Amino acid sequence: MSKLTEQSCESCRADAPQVTDSEKQDLIRQLPDWDIVELDDEPQLRRQFKFRNFAEAQVFTNKVADMAEEEGHHPAILLEYGKVTVRWWTHKIGGLHKNDFIMAARTDQAYQQQE
């Protein structure tokens, strides 16, 4: 499998399948800093990113928001002093799609580029 950051997101319909448990385990191994959490009965990817101050956290938040808008795939982002929490899941299917793992990997890449 190619690196997740190099893969393209696919257009997702309401009847698109969620990733299987096996696929989920394979994909999450490629994202060691992310957790799979259950919120509102929906599995989601979640990671918290640390920063020195609010301004750096805000710059990162804007990068993630711009990236999400380009793909038409939008996460939940919580901006706080010195940290940003990002959650990816596919709203249309109420769970995780491969797109979420691709976008989580791209979020990691944006964080590494900012450090």
Hey, what are 68's tokens? 């999400």
**pLDDT by residue (tens digit) across 33-67?**
999 999 999 999 999 999 999 999 999 999 999 99
Identify the three-state secondary structure at position 115: coil
Q: Whole-prediction pTM value?
A: 0.93
Domain ranges across the chain: 37-115
Which residues are CB-neighbours of 94 under 8 A, at least 6 positions away? Answer: 18, 41, 42
Nearest-angstrom CA–CA distance, 98 and 89: 9
Contact 49, 60 (CB under 8 A): yes
Range from 4-8, 73-77, 79-83, 85-89 carrying the lowest mean pLDDT: 4-8
Q: What strand order describes the sheet that includes 83-88? A: 35-39, 42-50, 83-88, 76-80
Q: Indicate the pLDDT class of residue 1, thresholds 50, 70 and 90.
A: very low
> Is pLDDT at 9 greater than 90 in this prediction?
no
pLDDT at residue 35 in the model: 98
Fold of 37-115: Gyrase A; domain 2 (3.30.1360)
**pLDDT by residue (tens digit) across 79-96?**
999 999 999 999 999 999
